[in-house]
Every structure is written in C-alpha cells, then in structure tokens.
Amino acid sequence: MKILFTGGVKSGKSHHAERRMLDLAQGQKPVYLATTELLDPEMEKRISEHRHRRSEKFKTIEEPLFLTEALSQTDAPILVECMTMWLNNALHHQLPESKIIEEIETLLSLKNELVFVLNEVGLGIIPDNSLSRKFVDLSGRIAQKLAEACDEVNWCVAGISVKIK
C-alpha cells in the first residue's frame, strides 16, 4: 500500500502520517526517512521536535537527497518525511529535473509499504522568480505523480485529515 498525506505547513500531515504508518506496520518497526537538512537553529528545533515525537517507534534514516539508495537494504514499511523538503534539497544541490523525476519513479516502484508527506504549495500566487516557480511547478507535478500512484490520498487542514482518494 502507498499513501500520501498532503496539506499546508503545520496542517497536521506529519502527525497523521506517523499514526497511519504505525497502524500499517502491524507491529513491525517502520523506517522514518527524514529528508530535512539541518541548516539553521530554527530547522534544528523543528527536527528535534520530530525526533522526540517519533522516539523509538521508528528506525530513523536521515538522507536529504538519495532516498532510494538509503532504502535499498530495508523491507520494512517506510514513511518519507517530507517530499517537499527533499525537492528543496534537490533543487539546492542542482539535481537535474530528470533525476528528480527518476527518483520519484524509483521510490514508487519499491515493494515496501510507503507513506509520503508532501506540502501543498500551489494554492498561492505564482512566484515572481524562476527558481520559486520551478519549485512550485515541480512540487505540483510530484504531488500529481504521487497521488496517481498511491492507493490512498489524505488532505490535512487544521489538524484534521480527510481521505480524498
């Protein structure tokens, strides 16, 4: 089973995705693939809060770019948190768009149970610079690709998760 949780920043996506993964894992210890790079004190605080919340319930792998490579040795269920930060990292490290799409397709081909977290970033205005437009456009394409491939898609808002597929 493949599941996507999407919504805005601080909408409850991570909390709902973690709970759903623990239910899906059925007693098996799932992998928590954390993609956020530690770049500043504010991000350090966010990462620390996530680490504390998931505690020993998950086996954590921290990998900002090469997700499928980091997962190559596991058959456990996997929570990928978060695809939006991974895309940010990929653009920051100037991965070509073809490699970004290839990584998504390879992730989706894994036989593991997968839960993805992705921020919905396309509800605002069109950004005024090309890098931001590229980020929003790619994020939207990734969201569509994940939603199409996933068995279940959930929209999160104000801490509430609504199943939309």
Q: What confidence tens digit (pLDDT) does each residue in 126-162 have?
A: 889 999 999 999 999 999 999 999 999 999 999 999 9
Domain count, the chain: 1
To which residue do tokens 């509800």 refer?
A: 123
pLDDT for 44: 79
Q: Which domain holds residue 159?
A: 2-163
Write the CATH number for 138: 3.40.50.300
How far is Cα 116 from Cα 71, in angstroms, rounded to an integer? Answer: 14
pLDDT for 27: 84
Residue 17 confidence (pLDDT) above 80: yes
- Are 58 and 79 spatial neighbours (Cβ–Cβ below 8 Å)? yes
Residue 37 confidence (pLDDT) above 90: no
pLDDT for 40: 79
Closest listed residue to residue 50, CA positions, set 5, 13, 77 = 13
The average confidence (pLDDT) of the chain is 93
Residues marked active site are found at 50
pLDDT for 68: 94
| CA-CA-CA-CA dihedral for 25, 29, 30, 32, to nearest 10 | 150
Confidence class for position 102, pLDDT limits 50, 70, 90: very high
pLDDT for 56: 85
pTM of the model: 0.92
